[in-house]
Amino acid sequence: MESGLTRNRVISELTRSPHGDLAQYAPIGLQAAAEDPNFFAHLVAWNARKGQIRDAKVALPVLALTAAALRDDVELRDNAIAHIVSLDPRNLVRAVRFAKSQPVQERRRVSRAVEQYLREREANPGRFERAALQHRASMKELYALLHIKPGEYAQKVLFDGAKVGVFADVTRLKDLDPTEAAGLIMRKRIPFLTAMGALGVKSKDPAVVQALIAAMTPTELVTNAKMLERLGVKTDPALRAAFDAGLMKAADSGASTLKTTRAADAIGGSTGEKLRGVQEKQIDKIAVEGDWLILADKSPSMRDSLDVGRKIADVLARAAKGDVHLVWFDSGPTYFNVTGKTYDEIMELTKRITVSGGTDIGIGLEYALEKKLIVDGIAVVSDGGDGRAGGFSRAYQKYSDFAGKDVPVYFYKLAGDPDTFTDRVVADGISMQAFDLRGGVDFYSLPAVVTTMRTNRFGLAEEILEMPLLRLADVLRSNVVAAELVAA
């Protein structure tokens, strides 16, 4: 890429969470889509499959459509539109609104694809009802935003308020006895929040709550754990058993680690601890190749960021397939083997680590060399205020000679003293990817950032380029219409 915008920087910037502000993706995304549209298209496909940040899954395909190259490259354009219409209705609305604020090419094709998205659902009443039950407001907004005339059934259900099909069943919930209501919820798979709104006081009946838990998706269970706690999952043995069974499914599912983290932090207590257990199992399913060395700064300038080293070690300790070595440094090294350990175990191991001394980033690598620790990747967690200029570079050269390879270096750059580390490392010819966390550490998206690290510095970019692009015809059921959309 031109202008110093490397693929690794694109990956690190565009796989972070902006907490709902899609516009934060635009500066890097617009440049990347323009300079390397093929790589950006594959990044869209890779992120849809492997990424955990929902905002990125919404924003990236929209930004891909800003590339001028898409006017002539049908495959790249098809991929972007296909990923947009793969979104659920709520996030599809967000994508359409975001597209209106960006210099998107081929707006007409996007509108036609969204219309086909809606028509397919209209043609299948069961599918339409499920979408409308969970995303009623978003479905209405899609028709309005793009001036699409709803079909007869959509008009009745969304705009006229007709109580037909499953919507009639929902209105009956409040009049049924708890056992009947529970059975109806389970048979019709009525979404949790929809059922809660319709049940009224019956929502507190244990039989109904148990049915709600049984009908919930893993994501719904995690997201609504606090409400379920108020409904008795801590005190009622049957509900607790149902909730625990649901958590087991969440741990084995693709439910977002980030959602689990948020829920655990919000709830606290015993339920929060259970959710943290789910998060631990979810992180265990993430795979990072190789053995790793974490060099974590504990100098006085890191007083407010000391825990970041533990958080990164927490994810990497169980995501890495090999050993994970944690070295805290100030003017000297303090070593811990954290392989396979949980955050609580790492906290216990490092509870006496406090800020002190100076800053010598190279001392941790010198320790690894002295102890003959063979690693495939190095993560530096620091503000970069290195008190021994060139110390890391000299240690890195010695370590490379010892290991017989150039080990990839990742720098988690935190707020604190002025960064003298980066310029010196780059000047000395060491390839390093930086994650700029000076604006604040987002502990929710940190697992997603950690898992972009590879033992080969080009490994992730190669993996992304190997990800197949998505075809619109594979998303929209009507291949004839999809082909017309592509060719129009």
Domain boundary among 234, 265, 286: 286
> 165 with 125: CB under 8 angstroms?
yes
Q: For residue 320, give the DSSP letter.
A: B
The CATH number that applies at residue 321 is 3.40.50.410
* Local structure of 433: helix, strand or coil: strand
Written as one string, the DSSP assignment of 275-297 is HHHHHHHHHHT--B-S-EEEEEE
Mean pLDDT on 161-180: 86
Largest CA distance in the chain: 76
222: Cβ contacts below 8 Å, ≥ 6 apart: 247, 250, 255, 256, 259, 260, 263, 275, 278
The helix/strand/coil state of 336 is strand
- Based on the fold, state whether residues 259 and 385 are members of the same structural domain: no
Q: Give the whole-angstrom CA distance, residue 202 versus residue 208.
A: 7
Dist CA 234 CA 242 (whole Å)? 11
- Residue 346 and residue 362 in one domain: yes
Q: How far apart are CA 134 and CA 154, in angstroms?
A: 14
Averaged over 169-187, what is the pLDDT? 86
Statement to judge: residues 440 and 424 lie in one domain: yes
* Domain end marker among 250, 269, 286: 286
In this prediction the pTM is 0.74
Structural domain of 118? 7-159
CA atoms within 13 A on the CB side of 296: 27
139 or 283: which carries more pLDDT confidence?
A: 139
Query: Considering the domain boundaries, does residue 321 fall inside one?
Result: yes
Predicted local distance difference test score (pLDDT) of residue 292: 95
Q: How many domains does one find in the chain?
A: 3
Confirm if 319 and 287 have CB atoms less than 8 A apart.
yes
Q: Using CA atoms, how far apart are residues 42 and 278, in angstroms rounded to an integer?
A: 31
**Which residues, 6 or more positions from 235, have their beta carbon under 8 angstroms from its beta carbon?**
none
Three-state SS at 40 = helix
Residues 404, 361 share a domain: yes
pLDDT digit string, tens, across residues 96-132: 999 999 999 888 999 999 999 999 889 888 788 888 8
Report yes or no on 271 lying in a domain. Answer: yes
CA–CA separation, 484 vs 31, rounded Å? Answer: 30
pLDDT value, residue 251 = 60
Residues 242 and 357 in one domain: no
Residues 443 and 402 occupy one common structural domain = yes
327-345: pLDDT as tens digits:
999 999 999 999 989 888 9
Asked if residue 477 belongs to a domain, the reply is no
Q: 138 and 91, same structural domain?
A: yes
Indicate the range of 70-84, 146-160, 184-198 predicted with least confidence: 184-198
